[in-house]
Structure 1
């Protein structure tokens, strides 16, 4: 509530110059807020630019230390890995193989960049021949992901990630009961100290297009609306988050971020829980495309957007802009 009136009260007094603006700034963006996503591919000496995501690359395992060192040098504390295997099958078996692409990637990064905090995305869409996020059950011509059979595969996947040295697992498939199943699996295997960052409110969004190109995870048929959330729903997101917290999630995530600021704010205010937001590929690519056309000031737009996500309540932001922003923050 304002206690004074114009002309005695002039809010512009605290906007007079950069020093006073800094002194009263309510939300401060730092590199500690960021998690940097990395795509991993098979092969050797590969650094493949992703056409729909300018400035982002797929790295072969032997070149992961190169990007790991850049992340560390920037002061960014963590990365999240997405694997693209050479061979895919109906069960996505590479995702839980001891010699799977993510398992080898984790071992490489933890050996060469031990200070880096390594998070693994836990899902099946990049690994299955059909591109869906779990065990596919079909009745005639109608197919859908079998929730409970997928939980059994998720248990195998997270244990293999933990054994490889992952610091945190991040299940993204939106299966009912996935956090309970994963927590019990990790605890039973002796990994009770590994936290879970749950994609708790993940929407069936049109903003994921560039990621699906990058990770080669576009569904071979249909879509993911039977397990990812309807973009029109708000209260359902709060129920999803509440269930994941009850089942043992340590961090909850809202994905995407830009069109779901209201959800981020409500999750933070309702649960007072560590909250992550995923600044997804479509959000990134739109900014890049407009900047390349000269239509926007990329630096100012990115900093404003990420600050708004933090202002909305995000404690952590998964963003492809992280390396650029780290440099900009140093300069400023």
Structure 2
């Protein structure tokens, strides 16, 4: 598989800018999750990479071969890109095997080239080749769509929100099957999604598009722990934001004197704490790092099985309400008096 290089890519529709100078590199064998809210430009970027749309300016290189830029627009069929659409888009009048080999040369189509191998790669039995798409579940159809995309040995695989139409349990199972198949094939892939958990769990790296600009590209862990803006912090997961003051690489706020993920200049900031960092303490319990605890009253509990969201009103200062996330079996009751403390380092943003 290949590497992808995008430089200064721009696109407008009817004078309205949609993409603003996108620079992005995807290394060989990497699964990049392209994450962003609706209207951020994800689909436009995908269409430019696939050749479905022409860029206004900038360049795209796949494995060192320029496919767009400087008045060049290579047609989609010449870019050797495998494409997996949202709904799979299998041909209902063709068998699974015929769907898989559809884009291959005639001799390979007749020989059902690599059908058994590709079905095994995506976690389906070889005898599924004789079935009609209508006889498969939604998740199985998406796996067949991936097998079809991999059949011509493309240089790059593009996945356009391929799990969005599946129910929760099937979505998780299909995600893992697709990720395993891409890894086994050594594929370089771009997964377009607006689902934060999908991007964080599948992507080797996550690139975030925001209002047509690429604002952060990082590993899932770095993106979640150290998002570059307050808005992004709230987009990639639930965030507790509190005013604070940085002094000597620590920050003081209503939740105490906390260590920072990264050093920053002294001054007024907004502190970002993830709800799962807020620990509820039993009467006799103390934090291993000696962090101070704070009295609070439980305002609301949203039980979700394996965990629970807890709204807590602090009993000091402005009596601020913060949200914690605790294991479901440890969820308190509304009205209960508890103590809380923050575990781990936090991120802060200078106040403008």
TM-score, normalization by structure 2: 0.29
Q: Which has the higher contact order (CA 8 A, sep 6+)?
A: 1
TM-score, normalization by structure 1: 0.30
Q: Relative to total residues, which structure has the larger helix share, 1 or 2?
A: 1
